[in-house]
Structure 1
Amino acid sequence: MPRSPSIVPHQIDHDTYLVLNDFGRLGRAWCETDEEGADRKTLIRRLLDDQYSHPVRIVAFNTNEGWSRDVTTDIADELRRRFVEYEEVPRSVLEFVETAMRH
């Protein structure tokens, strides 16, 4: 029987970040991202570039180390600290930070 290809990232010791986005009437879905774009630095940049319409949750995992966790509050806190670096912060990010910091 043929085996399905692995979805595990090939980079050793690579933390992978995924965003749960709320698409309104269409519901919520985990957003696709390329392997190289699933790191923390790229995630922060994409959030601040307004590439997610309504992020509601962020999870990180590392299959090599065998862990996964909800990093929503951690990412929201980092975004909040970076606000001073930007003239304008996308509304989606402001709402994400506000919601995440309440929970």
Structure 2
Amino acid sequence: MGRPLWFVAGAGVGVYAAARARRAAESLTADGLRDRLRGWQAGARLFADEVHQGRTERETELREQLGLRPHGAPELTTPSASHSTAPSTAPSTEMKDLH
């Protein structure tokens, strides 16, 4: 029973090693490197989105705790008397051609 067991174990290790070697060889081709780069880019993009979402959530929590206005909401201000929207009645400084 010892020899068949070692034969099956050796065959299994050989198949596994051949599969790993094939994967390694494919990953070093131009298509394999391109796929790996795209995977890293997708992972980096997902990571950046998660960081942005977490930062936004934390900022919202802090603003609520500190009683600040929501981010991006305009502040309401009262218009001052010097900023009137009525048309001016002052004479025009434009020079008219008298000829």
TM-score for both structures, normalised by structure 2: 0.23
Select the structure of larger CA radius of gyration.
Answer: 2
